[in-house]
A and B are shown apart, each in its own frame.
Chain A
C-alpha cells in the first residue's frame, strides 16, 4: 500500500520535473554537470571499474529478471548529503519463482556470499509486461534487505552504495562528503 503511494508520488514528481525541464537555465545545467563529474572525480572510480560494476550487477540481477542488458544505465548521483548509485534497467520479464530458485541454487553451489553483498530494492508495478525505462533515481526509500521472495515485477532498481559493494572494487575509498 505504502509502496503504491510512493510510486505515485514519484511519478507525479517526475511529471512536473519533465514539464519544468525545458526551462532549465545554463547555470543549473552547469551545477548538475559539475555534481556528476565531481562525484566521479572524488570516487576514483574509473570508467573501467564502472563498467565492471555494471557487468557484475547485470550478472547478479539477471538471476531475478530478464532485462535489456544493453540499455542498463548506471549513474552516481548526489542525493542530498549522500551519494547514491542510481541504476535504471528496462525489464523485459520478471522470472518466476522456480527460475529464481534454480538460479540461486546453482549459484549457492558456486559461492555463497555473493547475494549478501548487494542490497536490492524493488518497486511494485505491472506484471510480465514489456516495460519502458522509467527514471526513478530519486526514490526516497531506504534500501531494504535482500528480499528475494517478492522480486516479481520490479522495473527499476536503486542500489544504495554501501561499503560492501565498495569492497568489491579493489577497495578504493570513496570520499562522500568533506568536512
Chain B
C-alpha cells in the first residue's frame, strides 16, 4: 500500500485549516479508508482538540523523531472510528524540533500502512510550512472569500508551484456566506476561483454547527444533517476521484429552500 500524502495549508491563520483537516480525515475514514493525520503545528497544536483526542496523547511527533518511542506507539486511534489515527504535535516545542527530512521520513513510513496521510500545516510561510510540505505530493489550499485570505492563498499557491514534489493542488473555499454573496457583499465562488486560477475541490458554507462541533470535539461530518458536514463529505468523495457536483449555494433552490425553512422555523418558535 502506498498512501497519498496531502498537506492542508492556507498561509493565513484562522481560515479553517485544522477544521478542514479533521473533517476531511474523518470523512475519508467514514468511507472506509485508513487515515492518519499529522499535526505539524508544533507549539500550537489544536487538531487533537477538534477530534476530541486531547486526553489520550502520550507521545508526540517530537518523541518519534527523538526516538523516545516507535512511530506506531505515537499514533492515537480514534475510538469511534478505528480507521482514523492522529500523530499529535508537541505543545512544548517550537517549529525547529522537527526537520523537513524527518517529516518526509515519517510520511514515507506511514504510507505503507495508511491510504491517506493528511498533514496539518501551521499558518505562515516559514519553516513550519516548509516542513509540512516536505513529505507531501498533493495539497489542499484552504481560503475564505476575504481579501487577506485570498492574497495569502495566492502566495501559498506560488510557493507550492515552485515545489517539484507537489504534483497537484486544489482550492477549498471555506466559510462561504450565500446571503452575503447574494447582496454583493462577498466575493462569489467563481470570482475567487478566477482570481486564484486554481482548481476547486470544495465549497464549505459558514455553519454555526462548526462551533458546537468543536466544543464537543466531534467533527461536523458526523452530523449528516449539517450543510457544512455534507460539503466536507463531498470533498472526501472528490479526493477519492468521484464526480460530485458542488453545492450551488447561490442559486440552488433546494438549499435556499432549506435555509428559508430553517429561518421560518426559528420565527415560528419565537411566535409560540
Residues of A within 8 A of B (CB): 25-28, 30-31, 33-35, 37-38, 41-42, 175, 177-178
Contacts A27-B184, A27-B191, A175-B158 aside, 8 further interface pairs with beta carbons under 8 A come to A27-B181, A27-B188, A30-B187, A31-B187, A34-B195, A38-B150, A38-B195, A41-B155
Contact between chains at A30 and B147 (CB < 8 Å): yes
Contact between chains at B154 and A28 (CB < 8 Å): no
Contact between chains at B197 and A177 (CB < 8 Å): yes
Near A by CB (< 8 A), chain B positions 137-172 give: 147, 150-151, 154-155, 157-158, 161
Minimum C-beta distance from B60 to chain A (A): 35
**How many residues from B make CB contacts under 8 Å with A?**
18
Interface of B, helix, strand, loop or mixed by DSSP: helix
> Nearest residue in A to B181 (C-beta to C-beta)?
A27
> Nearest residue in B to A24 (C-beta to C-beta)?
B184
CA distance A35 to B195 in the complex (A): 7
Contact between chains at A178 and B197 (CB < 8 Å): yes
With beta carbons under 8 angstroms apart, the residue of B150, B157, B187 that contacts A178 is B157
- Report B-chain residues with C-beta under 8 Å of the C-beta of A25: 184-185
If A31-B191, A33-B147, A177-B197 touch, whether A38 touches B185 (CB-CB below 8 Å) is no
Please tell me if B65 contacts chain A, counting CB pairs below 8 Å: no
Residues of B within 8 A of A (CB): 147, 150-151, 154-155, 157-158, 161, 181, 184-188, 191, 195, 197-198
- Report B-chain residues with C-beta under 8 Å of the C-beta of A178: 157, 161, 197-198
- Report B-chain residues with C-beta under 8 Å of the C-beta of A38: 150-151, 154, 195
Can you list 6 pairs linking A and B with CB atoms under 8 Å apart?
A: A27-B184, A30-B147, A31-B195, A34-B150, A38-B195, A178-B157
Minimum C-beta distance from B182 to chain A (A): 11
Contact between chains at A41 and B195 (CB < 8 Å): no
- Report A-chain residues with C-beta under 8 Å of the C-beta of B154: 38, 41-42
CA distance A31 to B198 in the complex (A): 16
Contact between chains at B157 and A41 (CB < 8 Å): no
> Nearest residue in A to B180 (C-beta to C-beta)?
A27
User: Top 3 nearest A-B pairs by Cβ distance?
Assistant: A25-B184, A27-B184, A178-B197
> Nearest residue in B to A23 (C-beta to C-beta)?
B184
If A41-B155, A178-B197 touch, whether A28 touches B150 (CB-CB below 8 Å) is no
